[in-house]
Structures are given as C-alpha cells and as structure tokens.
Amino acid sequence: MRLGLVAGEASGDLLASHLLSALRQRWPSLQSFGIGGPLMAAQAFDAWWPSDRLAVRGYVEVLRHYRGIAAIRDALATRLLDDPPQAFIGVDAPDFNLGLEKRLKRAGIKTVHFICPSIWAWRGGRGKHLSQSVDHVLCLFPFEPALLQAHGVSATYVGHPLADAIPMTPPRPASRRDLSLADDNQVVALLPGSRRSEISYIAPHFLQAAALLHQQRPALKFVLPVAPGLRALLEPLAAAHAPGVPLQWLDGQSHTALAACDLTLIASGTATLEAALFKRPMVIGYNMHPLSWQLMKRMRYQPWVGLPNILCQEFVVPELIQEQCRAAPLAQAALRWLDDAAACDAVQRRFEDLHHQLRCDTARRATDALAQILQL
C-alpha cells in the first residue's frame, strides 16, 4: 500500500497522524509520503516538504507566499504523477489540496479528502467543485455526508479521531502534576494559534489579556503551549505585551495544558474542538489582516465561528472576533467563567454530550471506507 498525503498545518498533522496509525495497523507495510509534520513522521511518513510551509491563513497572507506554495504544489503533483500511489489523501487544507486532487484524479489516481471543507459555514460554492476533485470525502461531523451528497459527492461519516484519542474524563490531576501545578491553583491556558500569521495577529491581544488578569488576580497561573519552531516569535511578544506575567512555557503539550487548566483563551480553529473534548470552558478569539476579514465575513453563513458553537448551534462559549478580540473584553469574558462555577459545570456537560456524538471509532471507519474505495 502506497499513499500520498498532504497535511498543511499542526491540526492537519495531528489528524493525519491518527489516520496513519490506523492505516498502518491494517496495512503494516504501508508507505506514505508527501507533505506532513512531526506527528506524521512518527508514523513513518516520508515528508518531502514540512507541513509548516503551507501554514498560512488569510487572503492577504496567502498572497505573500503564493509563488512558493504554488511551486511546491506543482513539484508535488509532478512527483506523484511520475510514480503514482494507489490513492492520495488530502487532509484539510482545501485551498491547496482540491486543485492538486483534481489534477491527480484526472490522471486516474484515486483521491480522498479527509475533512469536509466547511461549505456549511462559508464558501458554499466549493461544494460543486468537490465532485471534480475527489472520489470520496471522509467527514468528521454527522450532518456533512447528506450535504455533500446533495452536491453529488460520495462521502462517509467517520467521526472525529480526536474524540477517540482524548479520554472522556480528562486526566486533570496527572496533568497538573506534570506541570507542577497545585490542585487548588486557578490555571489559564493561552493558545494563540499554530501559524505564524495567527500568532502575529492574535498573541498580542491574548498576552495583554493575561496581563490584565494577572493585575486583577495575581494568584492565577498561566500556561502557554508553543508549537515547534514558534517560541522565538512568541517570546518577544510576551516581553512586550505581558511583562511580569508568570508564564509557564511548554514545548507543545497543548493537550496537557488543556487537561490541566480551568479556562483557555484560544484561537478559533481545530484547537477549540480539542478544548471542548477536554470539557474546558473557553473564550474563543480571532484576529487577522483587516482586508482578509472583510472578504471572509461576507461569505460566512452562520453567526458562529468556533467549532463548539457551530456543532452545538448556539453560543455555548463566547467568541471575540476581529475588533472585539482585544485585551479588556477577553479578560472580562475569562473572569466571568472563573467566577461562575455553575456555568462551567453546564458547559462541561454540554461538551460531554458532544464528545459521545463524535466518538465512533474513526480509525476503523476511515480504513474501511478507504478499503472500499480501493476495492481491497
């Protein structure tokens, strides 16, 4: 079994690593290659390019890197066409993967997209292009296959691999011991994103919010998990925006931080679903280049941005987006959680229901679907 894969950022690397683990159990001699990160590499994935080369969010930011990204896609397509795999799996990153998948599909290579593009949230026009690009979509959320079938796209609901990987009861005591935190400490986790462009726009506001929280509640503890290669970007921002705040820096370990914390200030994205699966109250924040925001907000179909709110179809956690993503509103929203134990208990119960809904042995379902597609 030879499979090409592309995962374009830290969240895609995480999802793809779970998929690769399951695929290797079914096909022990699996060879996988393409674009991926360190978690995929731990599953014997051969990364021809690292996933962080594609980790850019926002129209303006993408334009700055367009030539380099397009050159990588062309080189990857040529290499895959010269020595075709049995299938290609694009993991999220639709702006990169769908065009690549279309080219590979035309050449007769089976193409599978893992994670339905969020056509239910924005850019619904992409639905009609999916059938030209992919043979099948593996969907993380139960409402997606019917939506795709309306566009003529074959799809299977496989659940979310993170719902299988994250324990139903978070290992809070053990995680606190690992981070040398006392049981009675109030702990805030800061997760300002895993892309350089995100950190530049979001981290200053999160750090300023942490400074305000520290002023009002000096006993609060702050943990800051950092994606590989980004500490050098974050440390000067912390010195500028949160001087004197006792930040505990973590190399990765975002799951440990989420299990240990009482609350997280978190950038919108897959990490918000991870926080929900850890049953954590959260304040979702996001900020991007103003032009990118103007373009994106015109194409959104729902009032929610964060995945927990989208899946629950209501604002179960606050979202502070663009102009609202500022230090004072972030700190105020955080304090409301810290001072309202009943609200925290209620949102934790809601997230437990969501966890049960998404947990359905994604590895088995995904490998079964791939075997059926390849007629193995």
Using one digit for the tens of pLDDT, what is the confidence trace for 163-175? 998 999 999 999 9
Residues 34, 53: Cα–Cα separation, whole Å: 12
Residue range 172-358, CATH number: 3.40.50.2000
pLDDT of 301: 53
Strand ranges, E, within 197-281: 221-226, 247-251, 263-267
- Three-class secondary structure of residue 256 per DSSP: helix
131, HSE (Cβ side, Cα atoms, 13 Å): 12
Given a contact cutoff of 8 angstroms between Cβ atoms, the answer to whether 33 and 18 are in contact is no
Token output for 47: 């990364």
Contacts of residue 251, Cβ cutoff 8 Å, sequence gap at least 6? 225, 226, 228, 231
**pLDDT for 65-80, tens place per residue?**
567 788 999 999 999 9
pLDDT of residue 14: 86
Print burial letters for 319-332: b (CB count within 10 Å at least 16), e (below 16).
bbbbeebbbebbbb
* Extents of the domains making up the chain: 2-159+360-374, 172-358
Give me the amino acid identity at 347: V
Sign of CA dihedral 357, 275, 219, 322: negative
| pLDDT at residue 60, as a whole number | 47
Collect contacts of 234-239 with beta carbons under 8 A, ≥24 apart: 234/192, 234/199, 234/203, 237/199, 237/203, 237/204, 237/207, 238/207
> Quick one: pLDDT at residue 84?
97
What is the model's pLDDT at position 209? Answer: 98
Beta bridge partners of residue 191, listed in sequence order: 266
Q: What's the predicted TM-score (pTM) here? A: 0.79
Amino acid at position 366, single letter: A
pLDDT at 285 over 50: yes
Can you tell me the mean pLDDT for 94-119? Answer: 91
Is 172-358 in the same CATH topology as 2-159+360-374?
yes
* Cα three-residue angle 119-34-135, rounded to 5 degrees: 45
Residues 6+ apart with CB under 8 A from 311: 141, 273, 276, 354
What is 2-159+360-374's CATH number?
3.40.50.2000
Q: Is 211 within 8 Å of 285 (Cβ atoms)?
A: no
Render pLDDT for 142-160 as a digit per residue (tens, 0 to 9): 888 988 888 888 999 999 9
The owner of tokens 């080369």 is: 53
How many Å separate Cα 63 from the centre of its chain?
A: 22
